[in-house]
Every structure is written in C-alpha cells, then in structure tokens.
C-alpha cells in the first residue's frame, strides 16, 4: 500500500468536516448573500441536501472498490486509458482546488491582518507545514485535526454567542423576497464546497471500518452543514443583506464583539481558526494529490512526490490570480459550475452508472 | 671522573640497572597484556592453586585494590586456600567473620575428630563452612574475574579446578533519601539511589506480586553495568517488553553511566526535541507506571529510572495528582496546561503584539506600554531575546554554582538584572515581567517537558519577531504536527487525545475520581484493562436495606 495508515471512523468524520468548514466559515455568508440576500440560510439547507446526495454518490462508488481509490478504480470501470484520463483529471482537480484554497488563504491574511507582507510568505509557511504533515501520512494529520477541529468548532460557537447582542433576527426577513431562483443560485457555491466530500472516494481504502463509510460521509456533511448554517444565520443577523459587501463576514462578525470593555478585538481568534483549519484542509487535498499522482504513475511510495506536488501547487497559486477581487470573481462565477458538473457530480455519476451497468466492483455491502 | 659522569648518565638515560631489575620477575607474568572478554571467557581454572593465582594476578595486575589472601584450611598446611576480593566492594566483617574465620578456625568444630583430606575439604567448605546467603561455583576464569569485580569474594582451593563465589557485597552508598528534584506535599518521599539492588527492592516493596518481573542484563563493553528491565506480567503489553529488550540488546557501547545513554540509544525519534521516555527518581511514580502497563529500565549507578511508553499528557501529571482529592488535582492539571502554554508562548505573543498588533490592546494599556517603552533603545524583539537569554544564564548558573555563593548570585540576578536594567532604561518593565512569568511557569510542570519547551521557545520568538501572531500560530502548528508524528514504543505520543479515546480522557487534563477510572490506559495496559471493581463510588446504603 502506498499509504500505510488507517484511521477510525471518528477521525474520518472530523477530517471530512475540517476539509469543508474552515474556509467556508469566513466567507460562505458573503457568497450566498450576494445571490440569495437574507435567504442565504435556505440556500445552505439546499446545499446540505445536495451534499448529502453527493456523499451518497461518492460512497456508493467508493464502496464498490473498497481496496481502490478514486485514482485507481476508473481504470477498472472504463478501461486503462480512459480511466487514466479520468484519474489524471481528478489529480488536476485536487491540485487546482488546493491552488485556490491556498490563494484564498494568503489573500485573507494579507487583506485582513498584514497588508504589507508579501502573500508568498504566508503561503510558503503554510505549505511547508502541510508538506511536513503530508509526508508523515494520513494518520498524522488526522491526529492533528483531532486536536484542532474541536477547538475550532468550539471557538466558532463561542464567537457567535459573544456576537449575539449585535444580532437581530428581523434582518432575516422577509423570506422569499425575490422568489426561489436566487436561492437556488446561491446554493451552487455552498454545494460545491460541501461537495468536496467526494474525497471520501479517496479515503475509503484507509478506513478502519469501511462499512461505516456512509455514516461517516453523512455525519460529516450534516455537521458541516449545521455549522455553515449557524454562521450564515449569525452573519446575516448581524449585517443584514449587506453581508454580501464584506469579503470575509466571519471576520467582521468577530470585529463587532464588544463585551464589558474587555472582550473586544477578537480577530486573532479568527486568524487562529483560519490558519489551523486551512492547514488541515490543504493537507487533505495535498495528500490526495500526492497519493493520486503516485497511484497514477504506479509508484511504490507517494513520499517522493510530496515536494514536487507542493512546489506545483505553490507556484500555481502565486500565478493564478492578479488580485483578491480576481480570485473572488473566479470563485463566484466559475468555480461552482466547474467543480460541480465535472468533478463532484458529473464524473462520479458517470463512473457509478458505468460500473452498475457493467456490473463491476462489489455490491454495496 | 666517574663521579661526574655517573650522575649525568643516570640523569640522561635513567638507572639502567633498576630498569632491568624489573624484568627479573616471573617470565610468564605478562603485565602489559590486555585481555579481551572473549579470551577471558575461554580460560579455564587449573587444579593448581598457584597457577590459578598467577593467572588471576596477571589479569588483575596493577589493580592495587584487589586483595589476594592466601591461607591454610583449618590450620592444616596441606590444604592451601586463597581468597580474592576487591577491597571496598566487599563487606569486610562478612569476609573476616564468615569466610576467613570459619575456614581457618571453626572448621575443626564442624568436623570433630575427622581427618581433613583435600577431596573432602572442598565439599565441606561448600556445604558446611560458608554461612553466606549467596554462593556459586564455577570453573571458568572469566566468571571468577567478573565476580571479583562485582564485589564477590572468590575462594580458590588447591587441588580443585573450581572456585567458590561468595556474594558478600557491601560498599559505601547513599542512603535512601527524600527526592531532591521531584517534590510533593502529600505522598511518599523516598527516592531511588545509585545501587540497583536497593532500587529494585524499593519497587518490590510497593508491588508484592510474583508477576513483578525483574530481568537483568549487562550493558557496556567496558563498564559491564547492570541494567534491569522491570514490568508486571499480565498487565504489560508483551510486545512492548519484547521491543524494549530487543532495543536494549542492540546496544553496543563502551559505557552506560546513566539512563540518559540508554534513552538516546533506544528512543523512537532521535531528532525530536521531545523525549519519548520518562525519567524519574520516584519509586511511587515508577510503580504507578508499571501498574498502568509500562516497562521500567533501571541502571546501576544512577537514581534515574526510565519508563516507556511515554505520553505527552504525562508532562501534565505529577504523583501528587493521584494522592490529592480529584477536584483539586483536576484544577491543578488545567492550571499546569496553562503554564505549558505560557512558558512556550508568552514572550513571543508579547513581542508579536507590541511589534505588529497594537490594535489588540485596550487603549489605556497601550498608552502605558508606549510610555514605558519610550526610552528603551532596542526593538522589543531584541529586548525579549536578550532577557530570555539572561534568564537562561541565571538558570544555568544557579544549577552549577557552589552553594556558598548562591545568595550573591540571586541578589545580582534579581536586583541588577531586573530592577537596575529597567531603571537604566535598557529594557522595558513589561519585558521583564513577561520573561519572569515565562521562567517561573516553566517550572510548574514536568521538568523534562519543560526542557523541550524551553528549546522551542526561541524559534517561536524569532517567528513572532518576523511575522507577528501569524508566525506564532505557524510555529505552534508545526509543533503540533511534530507531536502527532511522534510515537513512543508504538503508542502515539498524543494519545489518548489524538487518537481520541474517551475513556482515556479521564486521566489527562482532568483527573477523574478513583472510583471512575475503571480502566488502564488503552494502548498501554491492553493486556488486562480492568483496574478496579465497578461501583466503588461511595454512597449511603440504599434506604430499603438494613444494616
């Protein structure tokens, strides 16, 4: 096996949550509010439903080949060369995903905290840590995540509670002001976010109990959906429909906290959440990309590929966008449809249908 | 003429006559020969006493502490005996009373009227005349030498190719005293000493169980130090014992003077700043660790005992936690966790805030800070680094300094470096406070962990100086990832937190009451997880039942 580690169901759930949540926590409200205004929370609910379907899709596909990852079973399903192409596209997708996440990460730190520091410094440090984690394997960063994620979730809840005095539920009204279409449009981006649960198809061979994969994927999606929902509700309840004007409403929500002349200026907490969470997120996709490349090239070990893949991600993310606005325009306009149609729904569905028709892989049990 | 020449010649070339005189000693006594272990093991004893003595003298030549006592058995000149021992390693009263006296004077009492022959004498000596607690017989010269050097008295009998080893050890050693480095308010006070046997007896006294196994081996090609592997069979994970023994057997080194030698040779991550084996001088701590399923390694000559596997949470634990009532212990543990964070991060967070994140301070505090720092000529990073460095100097000095000058150093340290430096405007008062707090916090938890954290404080300080809080967070993340990679004898260093084991959490940042800690740590004491009976929680008897 390329990756020797095995993780248990608890770790897998936490990992899948950490893979979705950290980036979403800061900016999901802005993305949905720009389309669905104050009805963003309905978009999130829709997105969670969509993500549940995607989770079901990915796990059904993965469980047909419990010994193989997303980068290996397309070959079985589609034949050698078409399969290789699909696997290659997935490797590309993981690299691209990481490029965008990394860029977003750096942009946030530059925009919100240290405008005079070059973005490459932020990205280099986090990539170094992620590379160290990925080199040490799945088990290691799962353990790190086990420490970090509960702290992140608790801090998110505490931040929202502390911001409660500034909230007003009236800002969530009226419901359905502009009808259903903006809400559905607003659901696209969060679905793409939560649809990253497709990574389950990479993770299944490394689970202690592969049978629990459905439970893992669904629990993780529900937890992620729940936290997205409360963040969305809180942010809109604080800022109203203008939430769309902020780049990082999560950060601004923390800025308004002002308690007893003592608890104020809680942005550093947001920074901690962001850095730690994104480190895990980057590690997961980085690991998937490195592991996928090794499996695609049929190597014995993925560790020699950690550095090259990391360099590619780092270089691409420096070149990818000219500015923060460029990045957000790209994510808002292009990313949702691109990721959803091709990688999150399209190809898994195609693979599953072909596998079912050709009767390949084990049954669901 | 010769009157002048002779002294000159002597001065120039030395006294040739005297020099050549030394060559007149028996030709087969080769003083310069170095005997290897292998050679010694292959040498046998001969029936001739004088030949044996010559051989032993040759091997132990120029060892002025070795005593060769030749005497006659029961005043009978036909039967010659010799006793070889190292002066200072044997108990002198035992040697003179129970060996020499009984062989020379008391023998006729035992065998009244009987005629002593050579053949009978040997049996008599072994069976009736040596009232010693531990006897052994050997016909191997290597073993004779080893026994002599270990502190045994070896008796050679003329006419027999056999030696009797009397274990009459008794050397000067430290008494069992109160622990100097790991203090408790409530709990046993004794600490290990330098003698292995005393240490094992301290453990045996605490755990009177046949399953407490003490396996010994010798390490160190030159020093031949006794090393004991101690564990409780039935509780310990057998794989860990096997692994410990395998790693110990791999060691080929000239000397093992302290458990530190062994620690560095058997630990899992030799490059890590964190230690993955616990060292302690408290028998109660070792006993508790053994009872949780750990393995202890004792080395002769040091009071420090290693136990493995080590978990990170153990740096939060002290023996006292288990003796005090649990609410107090839990609160203290949480507090200790806080001190770990303070001792790692306080200076760097201070530097980051003062340098980059002014907005985080309330305005009043910011103003007073700015007023303090107005006259300070250095950037806060340099200041903090210099103060940390100074504190490390003080700390190192206070360990090494002779006791008589202690007061002088503490006055200089406290007054000149603290007070005067602030008054002279060299450092801000804030920096002094933060550095002092860090220094004190670093002594509030396990000393070994505090050494590792002390090493890591400086890189994080540099990161804080360059990148502010972001640097601090990245440093901490890096440390977390590193901690997650560590394993101690197969057990993840961060367990039971990561990987999470809810039962194990009862003994981490909080200490659950004894009646609730039903099980041993999962990954360590797996062989026999049940620690106590269920339902021990004290409660008044149910109302229906009568006493």
Per-chain mean pLDDT for chain B: 85
For chain B, how many residues are written? 547
B530 bridge partner residues: B519
- Tell me if A343 sits within 8 A of A89, measured CB to CB: yes
Which pLDDT tens digit goes with each residue over B50-100? 888 888 888 888 889 999 988 888 787 888 889 999 998 888 888 888 888
* DSSP E strand stretches across B48-138: 66-73, 76-86, 135-138
- DSSP secondary structure letter of residue B224: -
Q: Is B164 helix (H, G, I), strand (E, B) or coil?
A: strand
Question: Measured at the alpha carbon of residue A231, what is the angle toward residues A226 and A233, in degrees to the nearest 5?
Answer: 95
**Which whole number is the average pLDDT over B343-361?**
89
The percentage of residues in chain A with a pLDDT greater than 70, rounded to a whole number, is 98
- Give the angle subtended at the CA of A259 by the CAs of A256 and A261, to the nearest 5°: 110
Q: Does residue A65 sit at the B interface (CB-CB below 8 Å)?
A: no
Beta bridge partners of B164: B137, B155
**B467–A121: do the CB atoms touch at under 8 Å?**
yes
Selected for mutation to probe chain B from A9, A105, A117, A125 (highest B CB count within 10 Å) is: A125
What Å distances lie between residue B163 and A287, B44, B83, B87, B461, CA to CA?
A: 67, 11, 10, 19, 66
Cβ–Cβ < 8 Å for B212, B232? yes
pLDDT surpasses 70 at B19:
no
Q: Render pLDDT for B517-527 as a digit per residue (tens, 0 to 9).
A: 888 887 777 77
Give residues 483 to 512 of B whose Cβ lies within 8 Å of A: 484-485, 492, 494, 497-500
Reply yes or no on whether the pLDDT at B250 is more than 80. Answer: yes
Contacts with B477 from chain A: Cβ below 8 Å? 129, 144, 275-276, 279
Min Cα separation B478/chain A (Å): 6
Predicted confidence at residue B31, as pLDDT, reads 63
**Average pLDDT of the segment spanning B281-310:** 93
**Residue B77 φ/ψ, nearest 5 degrees:** -70, -10
Instruction: Tokens for A212, please give them.
Output: 């629990």
* Residue B522: how many other CB atoms lie within 10 Å: 17
Tens of pLDDT, residue by residue over B331-344, are 999 999 999 999 99
Instruction: Tell me whether residues B481 and A272 touch, CB distance under 8 A.
Output: no
Which residues in chain A touch residue B474, judged by CB atoms under 8 angstroms apart? 125-126, 129, 275
Asked if the model's pLDDT at residue A274 lies above 80, the reply is: yes
Nearest by CB: B478 against A132, A146, A267: A132
User: Cα(A354)–Cα(A351) distance, rounded to whole angstroms?
Assistant: 5
Compute and round to an integer the Cα radius of gyration of chain A: 20
Instruction: Name the minimum distance, in Å, from the CA of A245 to any CA of chain B.
Output: 24
Tell me: pLDDT of A97 over 70.
Answer: yes
- Nearest by CB to B474, from A10, A125, A264: name it: A125
Tell me how many residue pairs between chain A and chain B have CB atoms under 8 A apart: 79
Angle, helix A9-36 to helix A138-162, in steps of 10 degrees: 50
What's the pLDDT band for A132 if we cut at 50, 70, 90? very high
The verdict on a CB contact (< 8 Å) between A133 and B481 is yes
Query: What tokens does B135 get?
Result: 């006897």
Phi and psi (nearest 5°) for B211?
-80, -5
**B355 contact residues in A (CB cutoff 8 A):** none
Residues of A within 8 A of B473 (CB-CB) are 271-272, 275-276
Q: Is the pLDDT of residue B127 over 70?
A: yes
Q: Which of A144, A257, A264, A286 to mutate to test the interface with B (most CBs of B within 10 A)?
A: A144
Interface check A141 vs B, CB under 8 A: yes
- Does the distance separating the beta carbons of A272 and B498 come in below 8 Å? no
* Pairwise CA distance, residues A75 & B177, whole Å: 71
Q: What's residue B263's pLDDT? A: 92
Matching residue, tokens 């999150």? A344
CB contact under 8 A, B498 and A147: yes
Would you call B462 an interface residue with chain A, using a CB distance cutoff of 8 Å?
no
Q: Which helix (H) or strand (E) holds A349?
A: helix A347-358
In this predicted structure, the answer to whether residue B538 has a pLDDT above a threshold of 80 is yes
Q: Nearest 5°: phi and psi at B155?
A: -105, 125
Q: Is the pLDDT at A106 greater than 60, yes or no?
A: yes
Cα distance from A265 to chain B (closest Cα, Å)? 6
Looking at the complex, report in whole angstroms how far the Cα of residue A293 sits from the nearest Cα belonging to chain B: 23
Residue B495 pLDDT: 84
Cβ contact, residue pair A117, B473, below 8 Å: no
- Nearest CA to CA, how far is B523 from chain A (Å)? 15
- Tell me if chain B has a CB within 8 Å of the CB of A126: yes
What CA–CA distances, in Å, run from B130 to A36, B95, B141? Answer: 100, 10, 21
Q: Which of A122, A144, A261 sits opposite B481 (nearest CB)?
A: A144
- Output the pLDDT for position B113: 63
For residue B478, name the pLDDT band (cuts at 50, 70, 90). Answer: very high
Dihedral class, residue B499 (left if φ above 0, else alpha if ψ from -120 to 50, else beta): beta
Q: Report how far apart, in Å, the C-alpha atoms of B203 and of each of A178, B252, B317, B538 are.
A: 78, 28, 20, 30
CATH code, residues A9-351? 1.20.1740.10
pLDDT in tens, A186-207: 888 888 888 899 999 999 999 9
Min CA distance, B486 vs chain A (Å)? 9
Tokens 């405008």 found at: A115
- Give the other-Cβ count within 10 Å of B173's Cβ: 11
Whether chain A has a CB inside 8 Å of the CB on B356: the answer is yes
Q: Residue B405: what pLDDT?
A: 81
Contact B494 A121 (CB under 8 A): no
- Domain assignments of chain A as residue spans, ordered by start: 9-351
Nearest CA in chain A to B500: A146
Reference B224, options B195, B245, B255, B197; nearest CA is B255
Closest CA–CA distance from residue A279 to any residue of chain B (Å): 8
Report d(CA B95, CA B100) in Å as an integer: 6
- Which of A268, A273, A279 is most worth mutating to test chain B (most B CB atoms within 10 A of its CB)? A268
Residue B69's DSSP bridge partners are B83
Task: Answer yes or no: is pLDDT of B3 > 70.
Answer: no
Q: Examine the pLDDT at A34 and tell me if it is beyond 90.
A: no
pLDDT of residue B422: 80
What's residue B27's pLDDT?
A: 47
d(Cα A51, Cα A45) in Å, to the nearest integer?
A: 10
Mean pLDDT (whole number) for B456-480: 93
Phi-psi region of B188 (alpha: psi -120 to 50; beta: other; left: phi over 0): beta
Closest-CA residue to A21 (of A176, A238, A190): A190
For residue range B155-164, what is the model confidence (pLDDT) as tens digits? 888 888 888 8
> Which tens digits make up the pLDDT trace of B204-223?
999 999 999 999 999 988 89
Length of chain A: 365
Residue with the two structure tokens 């002349």: A261
Which residues on neighbouring strands pair with residue A241, listed in sequence order? none
Confidence of residue B196 (pLDDT cuts 50, 70, 90): very high
């Amino acid at each position: 096996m390329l990756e020797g580690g095995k993780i248990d169901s608890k770790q897998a759930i936490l990992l899948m949550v950490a893979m979705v949540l950290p980036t979403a926590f800061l900016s999901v409200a802005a993305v949905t509010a720009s389309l669905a205004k104050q009805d963003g929370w309905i978009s999130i609910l829709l997105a969670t439903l969509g993500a549940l379907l995607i989770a079901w899709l990915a796990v059904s596909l993965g469980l047909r080949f419990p010994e193989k990852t997303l980068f290996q079973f397309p070959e079985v399903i589609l034949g050698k060369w078409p399969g290789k192409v699909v696997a290659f596209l997935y490797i590309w997708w993981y690299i691209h995903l990481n490029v965008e996440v990394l860029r977003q990460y750096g942009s946030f730190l530059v925009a919100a905290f240290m405008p005079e520091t070059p973005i490459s410094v932020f990205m280099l440090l986090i990539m170094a840590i992620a590379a160290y984690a990925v080199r040490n394997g799945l088990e290691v960063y799962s353990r790190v995540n086990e420490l970090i994620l509960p702290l992140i979730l608790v801090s998110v809840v505490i931040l929202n509670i502390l911001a409660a005095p500034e909230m007003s539920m009236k800002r969530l009204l009226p419901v359905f002001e502009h009808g259903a279409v903006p809400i559905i449009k607003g659901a696209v981006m969060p679905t793409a976010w939560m649809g990253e649960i497709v990574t389950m198809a990479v993770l299944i061979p490394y689970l202690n109990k592969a049978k629990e994969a459905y439970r893992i994927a669904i629990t993780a999606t529900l937890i992620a959906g729940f936290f997205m929902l409360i963040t969305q509700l809180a942010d809109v309840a604080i800022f109203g429909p203008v939430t769309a004007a902020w780049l990082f409403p999560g950060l601004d929500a923390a800025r308004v906290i002002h308690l007893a002349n003592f608890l104020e200026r809680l942005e550093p907490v947001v920074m901690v959440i962001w850095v730690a969470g994104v480190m895990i997120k980057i590690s997961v996709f980085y690991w998937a990309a490195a592991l996928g490349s090794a499996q695609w090239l049929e190597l014995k070990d993925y560790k020699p590929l950690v550095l090259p893949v990391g360099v590619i991600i780092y270089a691409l993310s420096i070149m990818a966008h000219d500015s923060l606005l460029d990045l957000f325009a790209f994510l808002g306009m292009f990313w949702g449809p691109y990721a959803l149609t091709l990688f999150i729904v399209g190809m898994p569905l195609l693979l599953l249908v072909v596998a079912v028709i050709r009767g390949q892989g084990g049954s669901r049990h | 003429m010769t009157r002048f020449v002779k002294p000159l010649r002597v001065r120039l070339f030395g006294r040739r006559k005297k020099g050549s005189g030394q060559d007149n000693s028996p030709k087969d006594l080769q003083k310069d020969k170095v005997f290897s272990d292998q050679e010694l093991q292959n040498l046998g004893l001969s029936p001739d006493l004088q030949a044996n003595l010559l051989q032993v003298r040759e091997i132990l030549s120029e060892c002025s502490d070795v005593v060769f006592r030749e005497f006659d058995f029961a005043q009978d000149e036909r039967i010659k005996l010799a006793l070889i021992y190292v002066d200072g390693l044997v108990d002198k009263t035992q040697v003179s009373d129970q060996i020499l006296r009984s062989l020379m004077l008391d023998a006729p009492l035992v065998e009244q009227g009987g005629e002593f022959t050579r053949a009978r004498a040997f049996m008599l000596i072994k069976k009736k005349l040596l009232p010693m607690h531990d006897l052994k017989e050997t016909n191997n010269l290597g073993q004779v030498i080893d026994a002599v050097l270990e502190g045994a008295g070896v008796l050679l009998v003329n006419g027999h190719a056999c030696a009797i080893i009397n274990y009459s050890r008794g050397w000067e050693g430290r008494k069992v005293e109160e622990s100097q480095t790991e203090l408790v308010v409530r709990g046993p006070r004794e600490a290990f000493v330098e003698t292995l046997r005393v240490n094992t007896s301290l453990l045996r006294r605490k755990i009177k169980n046949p399953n407490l196994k003490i396996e010994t081996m010798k390490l160190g090609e030159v020093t031949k130090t006794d090393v004991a592997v101690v564990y409780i069979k039935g509780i310990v994970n057998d794989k860990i014992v096997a692994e410990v023994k395998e790693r110990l057997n791999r060691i080929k080194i000239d000397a093992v003077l302290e458990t530190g030698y062994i620690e560095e040779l058997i630990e899992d991550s030799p490059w890590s700043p964190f230690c993955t084996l616990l060292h302690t001088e408290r028998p109660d701590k070792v006993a508790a660790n053994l009872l949780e399923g750990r393995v202890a390694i004792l080395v002769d000559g040091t009071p420090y005992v290693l136990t493995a596997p080590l978990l990170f949470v153990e740096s939060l634990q002290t023996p006292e936690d288990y003796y005090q009532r649990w609410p107090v212990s839990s609160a203290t543990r949480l507090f200790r966790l806080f001190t770990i964070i303070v001792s790692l991060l306080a200076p760097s967070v201070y530097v980051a805030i003062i340098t980059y994140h002014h907005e985080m301070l309330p305005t009043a505090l910011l103003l007073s800070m700015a007023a303090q720092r107005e006259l300070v000529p250095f950037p806060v990073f340099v200041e903090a680094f210099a103060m940390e460095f100074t504190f490390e100097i003080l700390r190192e000095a206070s360990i090494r300094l002779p006791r008589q000058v202690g007061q002088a150093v503490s006055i200089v340290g406290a007054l000149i470096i603290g007070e005067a430096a602030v008054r002279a405007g060299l450092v801000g008062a804030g920096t002094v406070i933060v550095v002092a707090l860090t220094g004190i916090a670093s002594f509030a938890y396990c000393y070994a962990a505090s050494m590792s954290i002390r090493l890591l404080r400086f890189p994080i300080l540099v990161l804080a100086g360059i990148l502010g809080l972001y640097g601090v967070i990245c440093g901490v993340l890096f440390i977390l990832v590193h901690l997650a990679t560590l394993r101690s004898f197969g057990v993840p260093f961060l367990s039971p937190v990561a990987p999470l084991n809810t039962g194990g959490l009862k003994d981490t940042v909080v200490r659950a009451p004894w009646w609730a800690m039903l099980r041993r740590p999962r990954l360590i004491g797996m062989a026999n997880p049940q620690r106590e009976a269920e339902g021990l929680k004290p409660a008044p008897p149910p109302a229906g039942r009568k006493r």
